[in-house]
A and B are shown apart, each in its own frame.
Chain A
Amino acid sequence: MSFSVTVIVLFALLLLGYFVGRKRSIYVSKNNTKPLHSLPQYYGYLVALWSCLPALLVLLVWTALNSSVISSMTISYFPEQVQQLSKDDLSLLVNEIINLSESKEVLQDSMKQAVVSKYLHLVELSQQLKVGVVFILAFVGMFIGFRLIKPHTRARNLVEKLVRWTMVACASIAVLTTIGIVFSVVFEAHQFFKSVSISEFVFGAHWSPQGAIREGQVGGSGSFGALPLFVGTLLISFIALLIAVPLGLMSAIYLSEYATDKFRAFAKPMLEILAGIPTVVYGFFAALTVAPFIRDMGESLGLQPASESALAAGIVMGVMIIPFVSSLSDDIICAVPQAMRDGSYAMGATKSETIRQVIIPAALPGIVGGVLLAASRAIGETMIVVMAAGLFANLTLNPLQAVTTVTVQIVTLLTGDQEFDSPKTLAAFALGLGLFLTTLLLNTISLYMVRKYREQYE
């Protein structure tokens, strides 16, 4: 029985358990002087969960561990001298066995043939055992659940407790994923810093990650000064914020304070659609429309702009993050209590005086939070920069020059065929770590601001 069929049958048992449990509890409560603690459906849930959960857990664990247990057992079937081989060779051998077992050819090598047949037997056995154990557990569980239908069983509380643990499990999956990602990045970055010193990485002004293609190549050792990348990232993000903050804030103020309800109902979703446009679409908008426009403008002003420039990428990125600023600010401005507006109007303030002197100061921490969120979005953005800002690591603050960013370099480092232990590849993780720390800092600040803001009207 395959995995999916087993799960479907378990699900059917779940339903069965529910109805049986419910029926039984109704029967018990009718024929008992002492009433049941909970309503019938809670006993139904209890029986259903007992019949399904333990079995499902065992099924999952078994499936997860199956292949590794079977391979280690397969190794034990090899003759003594083969088992002396190195770990890598052994795992190659096991892979060979697995492949051979799928092809079902009769082999010349009698030793291998023997192992293959033993392996196939093992797989079969494991499969049968698994299904057997799972269903026995399901029925035992159902029986336990069934026996639990008694007046003093607090089914409702038990189900509630389980719901709580389910929530905990969901939350921990998200948290553990984050921790896992952080650890893998930190670990690989540590590998990288074994070959390149941290100070060279952080303060070095020259980025040229290409390693030697052949032995003894001149200038092929690669240099990993990430400063130009971080400067490029910050330059483009700064330009983006320069565009997005005034536009976003003004539109938020207009939408929340001046616009009629009708217009707001139409305009706010429109603005939010901006956030839904895939960044690659922004990317070709930047590369095909904005970058040439800036080049032409620059030339007509007598400047010498590069055809791909930080300015083009920054402007388009700025447009991209307008909805982050405007939508969040709009929500926050709307959250300023009407009483505060009334207070200001009652003092003889005009609408714009009220906005400038009462509403914006009250909403400011929240607005700053929104802006920082937009900033971390801009810093992490890749596609627009790949298409509009270029690949050349150039340490400059001139927005008309081509620059590159951390994210773009990560992409170029990891695409194509790479040795995974070369500094060139590992550099991507160091860059990722740097980027992660930057956005983490920004997010922490913005969360802190938002929280501070929340406490304000209480």
Chain B
Amino acid sequence: MMNKRSEFDVEINDTKGTPFIDNAKISARNVEVFYEKKQAIFNTSIDIGKNQIVAMIGPSGCGKSTFLRCLNRMNDTIQSCQIRGEIKLDNEDIYARQQDPVLLRARVGMVFQKPNPFSKSIYDNVAYGAKLHGLTSNQVELDDLVEKSLMRAGLFNEVKDDLHKPGTGLSGGQQQRLCIARTIAIDPEVILMDEPTSALDPIATAVIEELMIELSKKYTIVIVTHSMQQAARVSQRTAYFHMGHLIEVNDTNTVFTNPEHQLTENYITGRFG
């Protein structure tokens, strides 16, 4: 027991590795998040590079999902949640007073842990965002956009004859790709993925991972995952969170082969978490 305690007492005030890079798409500085009195994120700073996939790993309840939801201000929908610090998207403070969170979320899309298609047809699920933001001016353009988005999400061939059937009738993996299609239909700059494959079987997971790599050519992707293999397979950089602290950020390879911090090493070698 004493031994375990000392593991947690390791110095965790500074983030190890290389949290800062040039040409960052998103740069977070000194972010702290509180739920009422309880602090969920401590003094976290990290850069997320353009067209990169950044994986966030760590034990349950370590704050990685909370941090992810700061990046598109989804935490605003939780009344008790308070955020301090600074997050910049293309050098623009997303928490600035003049920022409209609704417009921000159109630029920073999000895919959730559990596939959450709306109870509408497949077509309407994908067309939803485009209709909201007036991205198309007529039906032909909209049809085109829906087809293209489904195509890029690798779902079109499976559903092209069933576009007007309910999206909730698809299998789990198909639903998740539908949610990805829905997200890329509004052409965001960043896509946040919160454990996008944790509810899926290995085959559906493999399809989505391929899709992520394909999408990263065009979008910046931040993914939260519980699977270290997944982080290793898809991401260029990996961030390790522990109890609300960002412990270490580095190239994925370095994190998994040569972690600097004791906690990171414990986690990736499976000693806890």
Complex contacts, B74 vs chain A, CB 8 Å: 342, 345-346
Contact, CB under 8 Å: B77 / A342 = yes
Binds A, one of B19-27, B87-95, B100-108: B100-108
Q: Please, which residues of chain B bring their CB within 8 A of the CB of A346?
A: 72, 74, 105, 109-110, 112, 183
Is B16 on the interface with A (CB-CB < 8 A)? no
B114 CB-CB contact with A under 8 Å: yes
User: What is the bound-complex CA distance between A453 and B132, given in angstroms?
Assistant: 26
Q: A347-B105, A347-B109, A348-B105 are in contact. Are A340 and B119 (CB under 8 A)?
A: yes
A 315-351 binary contact with B (CB < 8 Å = 1; else 0):
0000000000000000000000101111111111110
Q: Which candidate, A4-12, A240-248, A353-361, is the interface stretch facing chain B?
A: A353-361
Instruction: Considering the complex, give the chain A residue whose CB is closest to the CB of B117.
Output: A343
Which residues of B have CB within 8 Å of A344?
118, 128
Q: Report the tally of A-B residue pairs with Cβ distances under 8 A.
A: 73
For residue B117, which residues in chain A have a CB less than 8 angstroms away from its CB? 343
Is A361 a contact partner of B112 (Cβ separation < 8 A)? no
**Residue A456, interface by CB 8 Å:** yes
Count of chain B residues near A, Cβ 8 A? 28
Set of chain B residues within 8 Å of A343, measured between Cβ atoms: 112, 116-118, 179, 182
- Collect the chain B residues with CB atoms within 8 Å of residue A348's CB: 102-107, 129, 132-133, 186
Q: Is B168 an interface residue (CB 8 A)?
A: yes
**A-facing residues in B105-142 (Cβ within 8 Å):** 105-107, 109-110, 112, 114, 116-120, 128-129, 132-133
Beyond A339-B114, A342-B74, A456-B168, is A347–B119 a contact (Cβ under 8 Å)? no
Q: How far is the CA of A183 from the CA of B133 in the complex (A)?
A: 60
Which chain B residues in 210-227 approach chain A with CB under 8 Å? none
Which B residues touch A456, using CB under 8 A?
Answer: 119, 168
* Number of chain A residues whose Cβ lies closer than 8 Å to a Cβ of chain B: 21
Chain B residues lying within 8 Å of A353, measured Cβ to Cβ, are: 132
Q: Is the CB of A342 within 8 A of B129?
A: no
Label chain B's interface by main secondary structure: helix
> How distant is B221 from chain A, measured CB to nearest CB, in Å?
14
Give B131's nearest chain A residue, CB to CB: A357
B118 contacts A349, C-beta separation under 8 Å:
no
A–B Cβ pairs within 8 angstroms, 29 of them: A339-B112, A339-B114, A340-B118, A340-B119, A341-B77, A342-B116, A343-B112, A343-B118, A344-B128, A345-B77, A346-B72, A346-B74, A346-B109, A346-B112, A348-B105, A348-B107, A348-B129, A348-B132, A348-B133, A349-B129, A349-B132, A350-B102, A358-B119, A358-B120, A361-B119, A361-B120, A362-B118, A456-B119, A456-B168
Other than the given A339-B114, A357-B132, A457-B119, 17 more pairs (CB < 8 A) read A339-B112, A340-B116, A343-B117, A343-B182, A346-B72, A346-B74, A346-B109, A346-B110, A347-B106, A347-B183, A347-B186, A349-B129, A358-B119, A361-B119, A456-B119, A456-B168, A457-B168
Interface of A toward B, CB cutoff 8 Å = 260, 337, 339-350, 353, 357-358, 361-362, 456-457
Q: B residues bordering A, Cβ < 8 Å? A: 72, 74, 77, 79, 102-107, 109-110, 112, 114, 116-120, 128-129, 132-133, 168, 179, 182-183, 186
